[in-house]
Structure formats: structure tokens, C-alpha cells
Amino acid sequence: MLTLLLGCILAAMLYYLMYSALRQWLLAKETVMLELPLLGQKRKGSRIQGTAVVCGGSLSGLFTARICADHFDKVIVVETEDWLSQEDGVTSQRWQDAPARARVIQWKSAHAWLVFLYDALSRLFPNLLEACKTFGIAIVTADIGIHITGKHLTRPYIHGSHFGPNGHPKMFSCSRPCFESMLRSLVLDPDSYPNVSQISGTATGVIESESGKRLQGVIVRTPEGIESIDATLVIDSTGPAQAIYKSLPSAPSLDTITETYHPKMNYCTCHFTMTPEIAERVPISTYLLPAAGDISRCLIMFRQDHLSMAVSCGAWGAAKDLPTTLDGIRQHVAGVGYKVPQFIWDAFDLLQEVEDTVTSSPVRCPASFWTHYERAANKLPVNYVAIGDSVGRVNPVFGQGATKALVGSTVLNTALHGVQGIDDDFAKRVHTAQAARMQRFWEGTKIADYAHKTTIPTEGETLAFGKVLRTFTRYVEILATTVRYLHFSIVVHGRLSDHTTPTGLLCW
């Protein structure tokens, strides 16, 4: 009897140890959760001599510039859109007045800011809350109101306490122009980061060392003429333009290292300007998603800064006719094919009062892609790193773009903490570590997109790819709307909050 008891205890201990080890291994491999404490930490020893040149001054460029401020003597951001280097680029003005972005088609699309962003940025910017206040950015409980085929996902319990309403985690609630301008004002604050500056210019080329192994500088076309900037590290944050990679003389052609498929998905975001009374009564955040495997429409609604309500209608396979009016939105939602919760119709009724304030921003989603720099690492300069959408672009339905960029910057931060200078394996290590984290953004979205028959799959694949995982996800999603205390909803919330892995049950 005693032997049996001891055997059971031993087996339980072994199971627990194996579970813990597997969980830690997955967290380390697939996420940057274990690296978060290093964000904003002072590096051991002095800063790396020379300049980190960050090409592209949008989300990933700004995240990366902040990271590099801790590690390099000097950081220069090169941004081609001139107004972003002027006062307009850092102002806390109303989003409606923000100038258009020539190269960022989603500038006025509804953006979700997943919880990872709040968590990581609070570590990087001690004055984050103050900046949010100045820019009118609300910090809200990160229950983004996910509904799968009309059923609200039960909110998960974390460490024994309920997810919201006053609890954690938190997220930002604001428009893209507001978020980006706040981020830029924080990063370019000369008092906090005197070693960071931004110049207006287009990165047009690179200067290689004689061996071709290292970049010595970046060539920039500025309003004053052509300049070359010496560089210790070059970061390609030029988004889908992948401008620096394309200028590398010895790099393999992008086609040979890029996976691509086309989700054929379009969005149209309508913005309504509400009265304070209406703003009080509409939900902060609502996601109406199909279960993996059916229905080709979604609705994403966010209350944003300055009394704005963003209502984004999305559809797989629809080439045109996404709504630009409240009536059109009602029809879009009526056609989702399942019962839509009453509070959404009530919110539309409230918006009726301010219907005439509507402006719209349609976006036809380009193909999704993932460039595997890690596969070409031996042929790339050892001090060239790509972060953000220059690594890959996914269907934004789960709102992961900014998170993906900050995950990349976090990987870079960890790598920089481990070196005194940029060694010959530096870029290879960063690209390999980043690719391991990119996997879940890519596959999770791809598997969801492959459920829609209008998706054009990656060459050599069929839409059957990922069927088993899709079926698993479908059942998890169904359970997540019904089983309150089990952790199923964590998997789905996790996908949207990015605190988990595809094997998310193990990893909260």
C-alpha cells in the first residue's frame, strides 16, 4: 500500500516537473514572455560605440529606436514621410486632422492594441501613463469583447482572479494616429533619450565593408541632398517596402526566401464622432468573429480617442461593396448568418444620432507574406536586422501587427544585452530567434484564413493545410463560449492578447 502511495506521489511529481519544463521551454521558444524583464533594463558595461540606424519611423522603427537607445551611443531614425519628422508627427491633435500617410494604407483603419503592448511599453517608458493622459488615450481592461458566431467568450480567470472589469491585463484604447504620435513623442523626447534623433529622408542604399560581410553605412536621400550615415547596426523597419533588404548587393532574391498566400480580405472602417453622452453608452470594444471554418464576415468596433467610434466591417473574398454608412453596416451585420447580440444593434441605434459625422477608410488587404531571413542568414551582412512588417505581414483580423513588431524588438533587446559589440553571428541569432516567434503569428492567421474558400494558398499547399489544428481550434472556440471555469477561453483570448502559444493551454 505504502509502495503504491509513494509510486503515485512520485508519478504526480514527475508529471508536474515535466509539465513545468515543457511549459518553460515553449514559453522561451515561442514567446518573449520570459524576456520581458530585460526591457528597459540598464545594460551591463558601456553602450556599444557607434550608431544604430533605424530605417523607417513607423511602429516597428519607433519600438526599435527605443530599444537601441539603451544599447548604442547614438540612434538615428530615417523616415521618408517628411511630416513625421516635424511637429505634426508628435502632436496630440485629433486623429481626424492627422495628415494622410502615403505608405501606410491602414493609417485610419481601426486598430486593436493587444495587452502585450501595454505590458512591454510600461517597462520601456516610465512616463507612459502621463503620455497617455496628454494624448487622451484610455487604458482599459483588456476584455476586448470577443464574440464567436455571436456568443460572448467567457472571460478567463487568471491566477484565481477574474479577468476585469477592474483587473488586469490592461490595453490601450485609441486610434492608430494617436498611438503612433504618442509613441514618437516618447521616443524622440530629448530629455529622456538624448541619443535618439529622427531625420527626414529616404534610405536608398547601403555601404558594405570590403569583405561584404558588414554594412558600414546607409545612404539617405534627404531634402538637402544625398547623405551617408555611418552605421554599427542597420535596422530595416521600412515595412512591406523591405527597402534596405532590396538594396543589399549580395542578398538572395526575396522570392527565394519569402512564403506568401492571399487571404483576399477587405476592411472598411467607419468613424463616427460621438457626443459625450453617446460615448458613455457604447461598448469600449467588440469583436464579432466567425468560428474557424465558416462565415466570411467580421465586425470590429472600438471606442477611440476624442469621442470617436471606429466600426470596421471585414469580409473574406469580397472585392467591393463594404459599407461606408450606418445602414450599410447594419446590412453587413444582418448578413453574418447567426444571431447577433442585441447590444450591437443598440450601439448602432445610438450611432444613428451622429450618423452624419461618418467618414470611411476602405483597405483592400494585400497578400500576406513571411520573409525567412534566418534561411539566408549566412549570406546577409552580420549587422543587418529586419523588424516588423519588413519581416512579414499577416491578415490583421486578430490585430497582431504592432505586437509582432514589438516582439521582434524585444528579441533584439535580449540579443543586445548579451553582447559588447555586434559580432559575426549577431544578425543570424536575431533572425533565428525572431523566426521562432513569428511562426505563431503566421500559422495561426493562415490556418484561420484557409477556412475561407476564396483564400489563395501558398504555392504547393491546398486549403486543407492545417485542417486538424483548425478543427481543434473550432472546438476550443465553441467550448470557450460555454465552459466558464476551464481555461479554453484563454487560448482564444490568448491569440488576441498574445500571451500564449498555439499550445496555449500550457502557456498562460
Ligand X SMILES: Cc1cc2nc3c(=O)[nH]c(=O)nc-3n(C[C@H](O)[C@H](O)[C@H](O)COP(=O)(O)OP(=O)(O)OC[C@H]3O[C@@H](n4cnc5c(N)ncnc54)[C@H](O)[C@@H]3O)c2cc1C
Which residues bind to ligand X, rule: CB under 6 A? 55-61, 78-81, 103-106, 109, 111-112, 202-203, 237-239, 241, 243, 267, 363, 365, 388-389, 396, 399-403, 405
d(CA 394, CA 401): 7
User: Which CB atom, from 83 or from 465, has the smaller least distance to ligand X?
Assistant: 83
Nearest alpha carbon to residue 390 among 232, 206, 235: 235
> Alpha helix locations (H) across 353-459?
401-417, 426-449
Minimal distance, residue 163 CB to ligand X, in Å: 20
User: Which CB atom, from 154 or from 200, has the smaller least distance to ligand X?
Assistant: 200
Minimal distance, residue 361 CB to ligand X, in Å: 8
User: Which CB atom, from 125 or from 488, has the smaller least distance to ligand X?
Assistant: 125
Residue number of the CB closest to ligand X reads: 401
Minimal distance, residue 142 CB to ligand X, in Å: 13
User: Which CB atom, from 154 or from 175, has the smaller least distance to ligand X?
Assistant: 175
d(CA 207, CA 247): 10
User: Which CB atom, from 181 or from 238, has the smaller least distance to ligand X?
Assistant: 238
- Which contiguous run of DSSP H or E holds residue 493? helix 488-497
> Alpha helix locations (H) across 288-325?
none
Left if phi > 0, otherwise alpha if psi is -120 to 50, otherwise beta: which for 336?
A: alpha
Minimal distance, residue 276 CB to ligand X, in Å: 25
User: Which CB atom, from 96 or from 106, has the smaller least distance to ligand X?
Assistant: 106
d(CA 465, CA 457): 9
Nearest alpha carbon to residue 317 among 300, 299, 302, 296: 296
* CA distances in angstroms from 16 to 175, 477, 500, listed in the order given: 44, 27, 20
Q: Is the peptide bond before 165 cis (omega within 30 degrees of 0)?
A: yes
Minimal distance, residue 116 CB to ligand X, in Å: 10
Minimal distance, residue 269 CB to ligand X, in Å: 7
User: Which CB atom, from 60 or from 149, has the smaller least distance to ligand X?
Assistant: 60
Cα end-to-end span (Å), the chain: 37
Residue 164, judged by CB atoms within 10 A of its CB (0-12, 13-18, 19+), counts as: middle
Minimal distance, residue 101 CB to ligand X, in Å: 7
